[in-house]
Amino acid sequence: MADFDILMIGNFAKDKLIVDGVEEIASGGGVYYGSVVIKRLGLNVAVVTRLHPDDFPRLEELQQEGIRVFPIPADGTSGIANYYQSSDMERRICIPIGFGGRYSLDDIPNLNVKAIQLTPLFSGEVDLDLLRQLSRRAPLGMDIQGFVRVPVGNDLVFQPWAEMEQGLKSVTWLKVDRAEAEFLTGESDLQQAARALSEMGPREIVLTQSSGVTVFVDGNFYSAPFTPRSLAGRTGRGDTCFSTYIAMRQQADPATACRWAGMITSQKQETPGPWKGNPDEIREFLSRI
């Protein structure tokens, strides 16, 4: 069996990015943005992903980074049309435009891994049984969006995850954004929302909003700001932040991992595509603050 630090599982995306009416087709999804940053941070990462065979060439970018990819042929490729106005790249309208299908345990190679990260785009990729099975293999990180963001017609809407309390018992690292946290807990205070989610089972809560990232671990809160000079690369922000945090938690404490997540996510938002920066520069900068 091959040894990997992190195994990522989630549908690859072929997204449409529409800014002021100008459309661009771009690769996307958590496995895209996240695996590159993990690899750049020096970890050995593998990706299991579903997409249409016609889109397999899009995986070459990951393979060129040295990422091991296990592609699964699907009837379609997941995707989201993201509509932005350049005057406010924080706000977007998201419309589902494809779905790569659901995973089964047979789809997941039996690899020796230190951690597993689930990054589904929206509901339907991973069910409770698979979630539990994977958590028995290695500590599990999960982005809640893949369980509460539901395609309904031409919209992506929040809907309750009926099995949330059972599912979260299997999770080590849980990623939510402000809107998801408020929807799931009814708490507008982010610290209260993080506490409520933690009580359901996850050991560490990673909560993002436009201003930065907040982490809740063992009763302690840590935070780091996002300070991008532009938002040209805003798509993929949450995936970059969560993957950076999980990668750094393999080698550092929560406070340090949070600072790295804030810094790398700030840089990522300035440039479309995955973060391809130099970790030595991040290390040097953080040593001076």
pLDDT at 215: 98
Residues 6+ positions from 120 with CB-CB distance below 8 Å = 10, 11, 30, 126, 143, 145, 146, 147
Within the chain, which residues score under 50 in pLDDT? none
pLDDT at 1: 55
Buried b or exposed e, range 28-43, using 16+ CB within 10 angstroms: bbbbbbbbbbbbbbeb
Residue 198 per-residue DSSP state? H
Cα 64 to the center of its chain, rounded Å = 21
CB 62 within 8 A of CB 47: yes
CATH of domain 3-287: 3.40.1190.20
* Alpha carbons 19 and 153: distance in angstroms, whole number: 22
Token readout for 151 is 């395609």
Give the position of tokens 């017609």: 153
* Strand order across the 22-28 sheet: 22-28, 13-19, 79-85, 88-98
pLDDT at 2: 64
Give the position of tokens 């798509």: 235
What phi, psi does 199 have (nearest 5°)?
-65, -15
What predicted TM-score, i.e. pTM, was given to this entire model?
0.95
* Alpha carbons 238 and 176: distance in angstroms, whole number: 9
Dihedral sign from CA coordinates of 130, 133, 135, 140: negative
* Alpha carbons 115 and 60: distance in angstroms, whole number: 24
Give the H/E segment covering residue 287: helix 279-287
Cα 187 to the center of its chain, rounded Å = 23
3-state secondary structure of 238: helix
Dihedral sign from CA coordinates of 157, 120, 247, 133: positive
Pairing of strands 79-85, 155-158: unpaired
pLDDT at 240: 98
CB 181 within 8 A of CB 187: yes
Strand-pairing partners, residue 71, are: 49
pLDDT at 92: 84
Residues 6+ positions from 196 with CB-CB distance below 8 Å = 185, 187
